[in-house]
Amino acid sequence: MSNNIHHEGSGDLTEPAKNIIYSTDPADFHYVSVNVPCQSACPAQTNVPAYIRALYEGWYGDSYDLNRIVNLMPGVLGRICSRPCEQKCRHGEHELGRAVNICHVKRAASDHKDVNHVLLEPLFPPLGKKVCVVGSGPAGLAAAHDLSATGAHVTLLEALDEPGGMLRYGIPEFRLPRDILTTEIESILRLGITLKTGVRVGADVSVEQLLSDYDAVLIAAGCYTSKQLEIPGEHLPGVLSGLDFVMQIASGHSPEVGERVLVLGAGFTAFDCARSALRLGAEDVSICIRATEHDLRVTEDEIYETKREGIRIKGLIAANRVVGQMTVEGVEFSRTEPREVLSSGRRRIIPIPGSEFIEPADTVIVAIGQGAEPIPSPGKKNERGVLEGDPKTFRTSVPRLYATGDFNTGPTTVIESLAAGRKAAERIAEDLTGKKFREWSIRIQDAKITDRQRSWDFIPRQEMPSVPIENRLNPCPTVEIEIGYPKGQALEESKRCYLCYLHYEIDISKCIYCRLCIDSAPRDCIKLVSEVIVGRDGAIQELVETSDWRNVSAVVIDNSRCIRCGECVRVCPVDCISVSKVELVERALQGGGES
């Protein structure tokens, strides 16, 4: 185990480690992708069951570390992550109730860890290479961190006064307190990264110059060009750009808003604009969306809190024009018809002719999205003049020049851009040295059934305590709305996790086909099968069920249906069901592996 990251898979710290295997077999990766849905849904592949279990056992610091080794900012993400894991959590399957509040548990680990919690990092010896990272948002910070840990000398250039990107200049303080952000950024920077703020690449220094000064340059400059509605009246006084609006507030220069505010847009920015407008004194705020509330990508909690503050969400309407003489007086909308969900995840929307109506407004905030801002540089550009990077290798057409994060993909989320930053760093380190530094593998370890009780499956999802409505705007409109779980509530929520990293398997050679396990199963997770169909990568693709005893060739646990309750193990009279822990882990390859 000497070459492992210290904390990997250490969820059950009380359990002696035995029989650990690291596998890079595609079948095992496939297994995890199907069976640990939360971890596979996380762009950074955070080991969710392990950190939830660590918290349950009272190891807050370990729980934090299990996050930090892959996502670097658990305190930040525990507040504002878009939570793709929760969409896929098995507990949220149709007849099983609601998803685990994975993100709130992350925050609890961060809140309750020891104040002197020591951070441990695998650090490689110096490489003798210099890398410049442009932009200090989550993508740039993550890349700078990993490159620095790999041994590169990293300079981080930032156009604005402080680091953090949209974390500091987009997301409002009432969702993300700045002291938490600053601490976690400091923890990244102190690996020896040189941060230079107030340097706008393309204006203060050219990309060509950087390419001659450094061994590699990574552009992680985010998306700062607001999309326009391209409808009449858009330039009337009283129409504001959503991004400018939040950035001005974050910089301490809050704009003025009227009494009635319409926010056009459906993403994080639209919601933050609406809630910020309320805090600046608006009386009547509505978010106007073309599709429906159920198609929104912001989290359920955010929709709930937004509505609780009195903001309305008006669905199925599309803006045609802004109306007004000297200044904004309202917006003309059409009703829309929702059609199918496209491969992009967005719903196709058709405006309904003849359904026009006017909604009065004093201020209109347009928050319909952003695009990357072109930075003068050599290399192939897209139609908007923005440098193009390969989505997988992050390489541009210019050797040693890379692009990542939202700059490379268009607007995404913090966890996606952060994961992209880490991947780009790995690629750069490999390109510079011909060596691999980190590797993902499947760690398989014997385990026992846990102390989880079936009754825990019925614990209600623990709601996040929040500041009462009447104390949100006054006296301090930047007060953090979500209070965080107290320890007891965090423990209750952690009990809800099925621990999908546990793998249950029946040893057919010992099975006496008594079917006691099937009788005790909480759902159709144990199957009588006539055939197991295996795919090209060696992974189980399909179980062909049969109800005819003559055709039964095995009793099989369908791990994709299993809720890890352990009942089958308890009732098996011949002890033929084994349990193992199967985790996707990132390992530092000591000394650098072959590329």
Ligand X SMILES: Cc1cc2nc3c(=O)[nH]c(=O)nc-3n(C[C@H](O)[C@H](O)[C@H](O)COP(=O)(O)OP(=O)(O)OC[C@H]3O[C@@H](n4cnc5c(N)ncnc54)[C@H](O)[C@@H]3O)c2cc1C
294 to 323, contacts with another protein by CB under 8 A?
A: 294, 304, 307-308, 310, 315-316
Which of 222, 330 has the CB closer to another protein? 330
Concatenated DSSP letters of 375-417: ---SS-B-TTSPBP--TTT-B-SSTTEEE-HHHHHSS--HHHH
**Alpha-carbon gap, residue 295 to 289, rounded angstroms:** 10
- The least CB distance from residue 86 to ligand SF4, in Å, is 8
Q: Does 140 bind ligand X (CB under 6 A)?
A: yes
Locate 172 and state its tokens. Answer: 């409002």
413 neighbors 82 (Cβ within 8 angstroms):
yes
**Stretch in the footprint of ligand X (CB under 6 A) among 221-229, 479-487, 494-502, 551-559:** 221-229
338 binds, among ligand X, ligand SF4, another protein, none (CB under 5 to 8 A by kind): another protein
**To 10 degrees, what angle do helices 60-71 and 102-112 make?**
120
Chosen residue from 272, 305, 493, 558 binding ligand X by CB under 6 A:
272
158 binds, among ligand SF4, ligand X, another protein, none (CB under 5 to 8 A by kind): ligand X
Peptide bond into 475 cis (omega under 30): yes
Report how many residues bind ligand SF4 under the rule CB under 6 A. Answer: 13
**Alpha-carbon gap, residue 89 to 101, rounded angstroms:** 9
Chosen residue from 207, 497, 529, 565 binding ligand SF4 by CB under 6 A:
497
Q: Does 461 bind another protein (CB under 8 A)?
A: no
304 binds, among another protein, ligand SF4, ligand X, none (CB under 5 to 8 A by kind): another protein
Residue in 264, 290, 64 with CA at minimum distance from that of residue 184: 64
77 to 116, contacts with ligand SF4 by CB under 6 A?
A: 89-91, 100, 102
Chosen residue from 18, 94, 392, 536 binding another protein by CB under 8 A:
94
Q: Does 359 bind another protein (CB under 8 A)?
A: no
Q: Does 255 bind ligand X (CB under 6 A)?
A: no
Torsion angle, alpha carbons of 504, 510, 516, 522, to 10: 10
The amino acid at 474:
N
440 to 469, contacts with ligand X by CB under 6 A?
A: none
Site string for another protein, 465-504 (x = CB under 8 A): ---xxx----------------------------------
561 neighbors 525 (Cβ within 8 angstroms):
yes
Q: Does 525 bind ligand SF4 (CB under 6 A)?
A: no
Cα radius of gyration (the chain): 26
Q: Does 524 bind another protein (CB under 8 A)?
A: yes
φ and ψ of 64, to 5 deg: -65, -45
The amino acid at 518:
I
Please list, in sequence order, all residues whose beta carbon lies within 8 angstroms of the beta carbon of residue 106, skipping any fewer than 6 positions away.
Answer: 51, 63, 67, 74, 77, 78, 81
Locate 384 and state its tokens. Answer: 């908007």
Which of 103, 311 has the CB closer to ligand SF4? 103
Which of 65, 86 has the CB closer to ligand SF4? 86
**Alpha-carbon gap, residue 515 to 526, rounded angstroms:** 9
- The least CB distance from residue 307 to another protein, in Å, is 4
- The least CB distance from residue 213 to ligand X, in Å, is 15
The amino acid at 182:
T
523 binds, among ligand SF4, another protein, ligand X, none (CB under 5 to 8 A by kind): another protein
Work out whether the CA dihedral 253, 256, 261, 264 comes out positive or negative: negative
Kindly list the distances between the CA atom of residue 400 and the CA atoms of 152, 174, 208, 595, in Å, as whole numbers in the listed order: 14, 40, 11, 17
Locate 278 and state its tokens. Answer: 């309320």
Locate 115 and state its tokens. Answer: 């104040």
Residue 365 DSSP SS3: strand
- The least CB distance from residue 449 to ligand X, in Å, is 34
**Alpha-carbon gap, residue 244 to 113, rounded angstroms:** 36
364 binds, among ligand X, another protein, ligand SF4, none (CB under 5 to 8 A by kind): none
499 binds, among ligand X, ligand SF4, another protein, none (CB under 5 to 8 A by kind): ligand SF4
Q: Does 38 bind ligand SF4 (CB under 6 A)?
A: yes
> Which residues are near ligand X by CB under 6 A?
80-82, 134-140, 157-160, 165-167, 170-171, 200-202, 220-222, 224, 243, 246, 268-269, 272, 375, 405-407, 411-415, 417
> Which residues are near ligand SF4 by CB under 6 A?
37-38, 48-49, 89-91, 100, 102, 497-500
> Which residues are near another protein by CB under 8 A?
94-95, 292-294, 304, 307-308, 310, 315-316, 335, 337-341, 347, 352, 354-355, 357, 468-470, 523-524
